[in-house]
Structure 1
Amino acid sequence: MHFTRRHLLQTTGASALLASIGQQAFAQAAALETTNIITGFAAGGTSDTICRRVAQKLQPAFAKAAVVENRTGAGGQIAISYVKGRPADGGTILQTPTSMLTIYPHIYSKLPYDPVNDLTPLSLGCVFDFGFAVGPAVPASVKNIADFLAWAKANPAGANFGSPAAGSTPHFVGALIGQHGGVELKHAAYRGTQPAMLDLLGGNISAVSGPIGDITQHLASGKIRILSVSGAKRSRFAPEVPTLVEQGLPDMAHSEWFAFFLPAKASPELVTRLNGHMKTALASQDVIDGLATFGLEAMSSSPQELAEILKKDTAKWGPIVKKVGFKAES
């Protein structure tokens, strides 16, 4: 089964209706005292913001208190490893970019978790594109990807970029940009995009590849410029910025999902009930508008749809990882 952004956006409206029906059906279920939403990335970034907005909507109907925990490190692996060991009773929910589940199996010889067997798919949370931005370390004459690659080739000391994690989708986007221009762009991995943006603003690195919303929130500083976006079409959050495909980089249309999971062996009843709450939260206008300020398009799914997306994307990234040639240390 093939899923496209259009298909999933169309199903969001239906999901909202089903969520409404589901909420009525589960209205009698007792609320938990506390549920913890775990993210592997720092506070203030896109991963953190969707957790906090959804958490607000889960209380008090699903849990009397919903708490967000930022368990950063190892490119998101620490958070996933923590969740897999928790009881599958709804008290712990994982929110993660899907690259930790679809790309990491191709780059690590051994992972501390099994993306399929250690987690229970719950729902998509949002979809977003990546931006490639430069800062004060790069001359103002650099206005597009071709300019940057030419400058990087002439200035090898500045041929670098940061991303939110080694082996993440934005890491590979940056690496593929370098390959296209025949330039080895040195990669710096951070614990989330925001720390990378701070180094970009300070002139400590030349560029950042990260979620578009993590970049656009810094445009007001006047210190950074977005050279490209990674989606199949221009982002509504940066409509003046051309895509990588428009700039002559074929096969470079990459978006990503944030999604929610429970530990493995969660009961079907719990999955159905929490999926209904998630769909209601993600269909709320204030959540939709709030996520949009971070460049995120709110989107829910059924657990089965999420499982299919993970399977498809895992297969997609195998050849890309092989082309880039990156292998992470276990």
Structure 2
Amino acid sequence: MTDPRGPATSLKELLDWLKSRPSPPTAGTAGAGSGSHIAAVYFENVSGIKLQYVPYRGTAPALNDLIAGQIDLIVDQTSNSINQIRAGTIRAYAITDDKRLRSAPDIPTAEEAGLKGFNMTLWSGMWVPKGTPKEIVTKLNAAAVEALNDPGVRKQLESQGLEMTPKDQLTPEALGTRQKAEIAKWWPMIKAANIKVD
């Protein structure tokens, strides 16, 4: 995402503009180890474009500086920025998911926009202490799935640009499998970039 007054109107134009700069473009993050920081490191790895990170204490001040033209871009989750995108105060170039969002169907995926291999989604899960009895885990999971399938809850989450996990993946076993796969994907990159949370 960038300030809409910038020279790029597509992801390809943005990549060309970022590559042409004499010094590394500035990328706002919500702080060390945040989703926006890791996404920007991933963007560097996939695009080959070196960024200069500007850490903030959260996304809101980073977005304020993006809107003001103080930084060049942010690679961040849609739920943080969808209102500014809709208002036209920032420009979104691509979604890093493998499919377009129902709440923002006009924004292409990174693959569609020409940046192959740039796929990342932020997700949430619920954990309980190790050793929690299985019947309690099952009961908590059933309550969470019921809440997530409430039409009002779904509508609210989707309006914020959040996509729901398919119902068959809303199990403790599926969450454990996903967590292990995500650790295997992201941990080597986090270590290579020497990302440490303050």
TM-score by length of 1: 0.52
Which residue of the partner structure matches residue 155 of structure 1? 21
Alignment of 1:1-330 (within 5 A): 133-135=1-3, 139=6, 141-156=7-22, 159-299=25-165, 301-321=170-190, 325-329=192-196
> 1 CA distance for matches of 2:10 and 2:79?
19
SS in structure 2 of the partner of residue 188 of structure 1:
strand
Deviations 1:98-124 (A, max 9, x none): xxxxxxxxxxxxxxxxxxxxxxxxxxx
Amino acid aligned to 2:171: S
SS in structure 1 of the partner of residue 124 of structure 2:
strand
Check whether the contact 1:158–1:206 (CA below 8 A) recurs between aligned residues: no
> 2 CA distance for matches of 1:318 and 1:250?
21
> 2 CA distance for matches of 1:289 and 1:254?
23
Cα 1:268–1:290 change in 2 (3 A) is same
Amino acid aligned to 2:196: E
Cα 1:189–1:263 change in 2 (3 A) is farther
Cα 1:235–1:156 change in 2 (3 A) is farther
> 2 CA distance for matches of 1:187 and 1:206?
10
Check whether the contact 1:287–1:298 (CA below 8 A) recurs between aligned residues: no
| Structure 1: gaps of 5 or more residues | 1-132
Deviations 1:13-67 (A, max 9, x none): xxxxxxxxxxxxxxxxxxxxxxxxxxxxxxxxxxxxxxxxxxxxxxxxxxxxxxx
Cα 1:235–1:298 change in 2 (3 A) is closer
SS in structure 2 of the partner of residue 304 of structure 1:
helix
Check whether the contact 1:164–1:191 (CA below 8 A) recurs between aligned residues: yes
Aligned residues: 194
Q: Which has the higher strand share?
A: 1
Check whether the contact 1:199–1:205 (CA below 8 A) recurs between aligned residues: yes
Amino acid aligned to 1:186: Q
Cα 1:321–1:307 change in 2 (3 A) is same
Amino acid aligned to 2:149: A
Amino acid aligned to 2:119: A
Following superposition, the deviation at residue 319 of structure 1 comes to 4.8
| Structure 2: gaps of 5 or more residues | none
TM-score by length of 2: 0.83
- Identical counterparts, % of pairs: 29
> 1 CA distance for matches of 2:92 and 2:53?
18
Check whether the contact 1:244–1:253 (CA below 8 A) recurs between aligned residues: yes
Deviations 1:144-195 (A, max 9, x none): 2232233233434570112334334443332333344443111233344333
Q: Which has the larger radius of gyration?
A: 1
Cα 1:134–1:291 change in 2 (3 A) is same
Following superposition, the deviation at residue 288 of structure 1 comes to 0.3
> 1 CA distance for matches of 2:99 and 2:174?
23
Amino acid aligned to 1:203: G
> 2 CA distance for matches of 1:223 and 1:275?
39
> 2 CA distance for matches of 1:240 and 1:220?
11
Q: Higher relative contact order at CA 8 Å, sep ≥6: structure 1 or structure 2?
A: 1
Cα 1:268–1:181 change in 2 (3 A) is closer
Amino acid aligned to 1:210: D
> 1 CA distance for matches of 2:159 and 2:126?
20
> 2 CA distance for matches of 1:288 and 1:277?
15
Following superposition, the deviation at residue 225 of structure 1 comes to 0.6
Cα 1:176–1:272 change in 2 (3 A) is closer
